Structure 1
Amino acid sequence: MQHLKNIKSGNPKTKEQYQLTKNFDVIWLYTEDGKNWYEEVNNFQDDTIKIVYDENNIIVAITKDASTLNPEGFSVVEVPDITANRRADDSGKWMFKDGAVVKRIYTADEQQQQAESQKAALLSEAESVIQPLERAVRLNMATDEERTRLEAWERYSVLVSRADTANPEWPQKPE
């Protein structure tokens, strides 16, 4: 099975390649060990999955047909077409690590970024509930139930805003 690493663009190496570049602006792609992508693409087997992954081993594309890929700046590996490999997708939540397709392992910084995004989403949701309830209170139109809901959502919003995204513990959403 093929494994072509760190594919980068490079200069044409033959007269024919030079003419193709001159006439058609062909970009030549080479692996870190000097293999020509356009020659190697024909060596992939038809019954395998081709995975493109980045320098952090994160899967960025998956296909059965390697000729559809533009792998510039990435690596391409061929894996068996089995259930475990078919589960992966190019959502950024999968990796090719130690010769296997695995769920992505997030760094502490990435986990904190995800928590920051979740915090922002939770606060936005809380605000969308709080605003009409505040308006009802301000206009003396709120029911007792609405006043109770407003207080619960405001408390929730404060607790979410205080959550430590390095080690988040999210409060329970109000009913």
Structure 2
Amino acid sequence: MSRWGPEGPPDEAYERVTDPERFGVLHGVARALVADLERRFAVRTEQVAGGVRLVPDGGGTPLEVELTPFPGVRLRYGRSGGGAFPLCGCDACDEDPQEVAEQLREAVEDVVGGRYAEELACEPGKATVTTRTPGSTGCSSYDEEEAEPYGPPGLRWQHAWPAWPARGS
């Protein structure tokens, strides 16, 4: 049970972030993860706005790690995958920075370990993207305007991203 008890958080807690700096630890965790990935895997690193993009040699999905001003971390990978750490940060959600750091580590390990897959289905006026890791499945639908970048109606694809190649292999 959360600290809010059975009644849940008060409405105003959803609009309040009392101590965003508690998530500052995530920037250090992300930097350490990037350094570890560069050491363990055959990747090249590209600077991007707010962070870095790690591109594995010979397979695997690129991984973009952005340090956000909140402070937090945003990951992008595959064609449409990604996540925000923390997911929200408001007082009502009451996310624990250490738990969020572990979720960040798990997300990165799923990507580099080849445990991330995507599926796209384009229909007239709609696109549906499904993402999968061992711990979660996400599904997003996009209307006609939002669906256009994904491709023409009838386009379908599935892709299970391979594991990143180890350095020296």
Q: Which has the higher strand share?
A: 2
Q: Which has the higher helix share?
A: 1
Q: Same fold (TM over 0.5)?
A: no
> What is the TM-score of this pair, normalised by structure 2?
0.26
* Structure having the higher Rg: 1
Higher relative CO (CA 8 A, sep ≥ 6), structure 1 or 2?
2
> What is the TM-score of this pair, normalised by structure 1?
0.26
